[in-house]
Copies of this chain bind each other. A is one copy, B any other.
């Protein structure tokens, strides 16, 4: 079964709101084994809406419209559906009576315009909307199905998750599309693809890579009669990926890198402290976004000015004031990591120093040059990176790679 969404509303095209309703519905469809191949977005124009719906009905088995069911003259979805299905609109007396009753109860003035919401194609049955005035419409004609839902989130969500799910459960042909996300750090997208190449050609389950900042995500998706069977098909593929990529898979599902790291440290009763320059506190903020991070995160220092690096962390002032070296220097990163570890009495010290731009720094160090370090009892590791991109990207990348470095140091010490 092939589905298509037609989102209606000029405000969507103007970018005044993001189309999160279509996103919500997009997540629901695969759960019922429905293929979702197209989405169209049109403004409040009856001709363009009708054209879009005709196209949708011609190529898809079930079409969802979102929005355009209000009482005003620019709410045209009812007209569009009737035109696309070659049907006509009639006043539904039951809906009209229900609306009048609602207005009475809410002590709102009834305007005849309101009866627009009681119009429906002759082939339609109303879908109850306990959260607003406009009912949804289930239109069935000549084997095609059009389901019209209201746009306000508080009305759309309950309708999509209630009566629409019920309908799909009954009428969608049984197969589910179920997926699991595997999260990878420390390897680039092409390296990951290279390592798992044979899996990329498989058709069920499929494996699809997505590059993220400093991470790669692999989505393993199976089509099966039910979720349990899909899981059973995903399982061996996940095992295969994990055996090839090994430690680089840091988690699955919603597990973030910082969450995986906090869990790893808490499990080992180890702690971490940060010394941040280029990220200005971003790594600390990222780690403490995890509930319960206090069991592993001690705190740290933000040494944005070079003299703070000396004062709070004991970094060698000779390097800092050397015009050839300055604060963006591998040894500065090393001493920062060691210094904060000592200051906070933590198992690990993580440091970041670099130039996020927009201009070369005092020491003439180029934009994008970053040094990261992790210090532990008896050792320190420093990494150098040269990134391109905006200030925000460089800082975000620095945070991700610092956490990745910390994770690799912790794992290495376990082995």
Contact = CB atoms under 8 A, between A and B. Distances in A.
Contacts of A14: 26-27, 30, 36
Given A19-B18, A280-B288, A298-B304, A37 B27 contact: no
A202 interface: no
A392 B154 contact: yes
A281 B289 contact: no
Nearest to A102: B388
A284 B302 contact: yes
Nearest to A284: B281
Given A30-B14, A39-B41, A42-B38, A288 B299 contact: no
A181 B48 CA distance: 26
A336 to B, nearest CB: 12
Contact of A281 (B106, B193, B302): B302
A209 B42 CA distance: 18
A37 B48 contact: yes
Interface string A168-206: 000000000000000000001111011000001000000
A301 B304 contact: no
Contacts of A130: 388-389
A11 interface: yes
A386 B105 contact: yes
Given A188-B108, A294-B305, A274 B281 contact: yes
A154 B39 contact: no
B38 A41 contact: yes
Interface stretch (A71-79, A373-381, A403-411): A71-79
Given A26-B14, A48-B38, A304 B308 contact: no
Interface residues of A, number: 102
Given A72-B189, A108-B190, A300-B301, 17 more contacts: A14-B27, A14-B30, A15-B26, A19-B19, A37-B45, A72-B193, A74-B208, A108-B188, A113-B193, A130-B389, A154-B213, A280-B297, A281-B281, A281-B283, A281-B284, A284-B302, A291-B358
Nearest to A300: B302
A105 to B, nearest CB: 6
19 contacts: A13-B38, A15-B23, A15-B24, A16-B27, A16-B219, A18-B20, A19-B19, A22-B41, A72-B189, A108-B190, A109-B190, A131-B390, A280-B293, A281-B285, A284-B284, A288-B304, A299-B304, A299-B305, A312-B343
A281 B291 contact: no
A389 B154 contact: yes
A12 interface: yes
A15 B11 contact: no
A166 interface: no
Nearest to A285: B282
Contact of A23 (B18, B48, B74): B18
Interface of A: 10-20, 22-28, 30, 36-43, 45, 48, 52, 55, 70-74, 102, 105-106, 108-109, 111, 113-114, 130-132, 152, 154, 158, 188-191, 193-194, 200, 208-211, 213, 219, 274, 276, 279-285, 287-289, 291, 293-294, 297-305, 308, 312, 343-344, 357-358, 386-393, 395
Contacts of A20: 18
Contacts of A13: 26, 36-39
Nearest to A292: B358
A288 B398 CA distance: 14
Nearest to A194: B111
Contacts of A25: 15
Contacts of A291: 357-358, 391
Contacts of A114: 190
